[in-house]
A = this chain, B = another copy of it.
């Protein structure tokens, strides 16, 4: 494997001149440039980024730490991050924590060792500990998708969960439903919490506070299946259910099917997060869609702008709007 010295020797110049030609930094005469480029081509020289980064203290690498890589919402966020980072000449390291704090710590340790220039973090718990740890290493961080405690000195990019939940549940109420359940994610995750808050607010506004039915679980299909199974045994059975994310919705849908019931005839359903169009043979869920790609893009832009301007200290919270898409699963007005 040829090094910069080999190229220099072959081109009859010094290593630093080769460096300048390769990086288009500083001046070099036309003739020198050509000789160097010829030598590079002949030797098949590939610069060693490890050495370059060690010296320059910049890796041009970002880390994206998400909680569930099998969730299309997060893969879309990831595409937004990747596209934006790539356009700016950065590469992205993807890490999947499965909502586990331990895994999160493990991955953060790894990417900090790798000297990433910045971290985009979907925190497994909204306590702010991980954020502090990253900042202690003089590494930039932007929080994605979830709220942070007010005390945390950090940028946040997320979507309006409370209002989205409110509107989905209000839609059910307007259709005539009274017994409505919510099946949500982990109690300690802000999005799971916020969507229950939105549900409660809609129920309260309709004078239905007495009949709250709230389940907390995980943001997974399996958990959605379980929660729906329990919910279907209630007497009287709820006539509608709000699933706090897409995977919970799919699990719940299967539970309804397996119980010999139908959506929306026997039980209406609404959910947060859509499923990607290219995987959906039958799109039929009524949903509040988060601008996942845009969330990834904005978070990355924020991180990159801080990288290029480390001075400013005014942290911001960007809260993006959702979009309501009404399909069949919410059903028609109850008679």
Residues of chain A at the chain B interface (Cβ within 8 Å):
1, 44, 46-51, 53-54, 59, 69-70, 72, 75, 79, 82, 91, 93-94, 96, 109-110, 112-115, 136-138, 221, 247, 250, 253-254, 275-276, 278-282, 284
Contact = CB atoms under 8 A, between A and B. Distances in A.
A282 B279 contact: no
A135 to B, nearest CB: 11
A53 B48 CA distance: 11
A6 B46 CA distance: 33
A115 B48 contact: yes
Given A93-B93, A250-B279, A281-B250, A113 B72 contact: no
A229 B137 CA distance: 56
A97 to B, nearest CB: 13
Contacts of A44: 136-137
B50 A137 contact: no
Contacts of A49: 113-115
Contact of A53 (B50, B93, B253): B50
A54 B46 contact: no
Contacts of A110: 91
B70 A59 contact: no
Nearest to A44: B136
A187 to B, nearest CB: 23
B46 A113 contact: yes
30 contacts: A1-B137, A1-B138, A44-B137, A46-B109, A46-B112, A47-B113, A48-B54, A48-B113, A49-B114, A50-B53, A50-B54, A50-B59, A50-B114, A50-B115, A69-B75, A69-B79, A70-B278, A72-B279, A75-B75, A82-B96, A91-B110, A94-B94, A250-B278, A250-B279, A253-B281, A279-B279, A280-B281, A281-B281, A281-B282, A281-B284
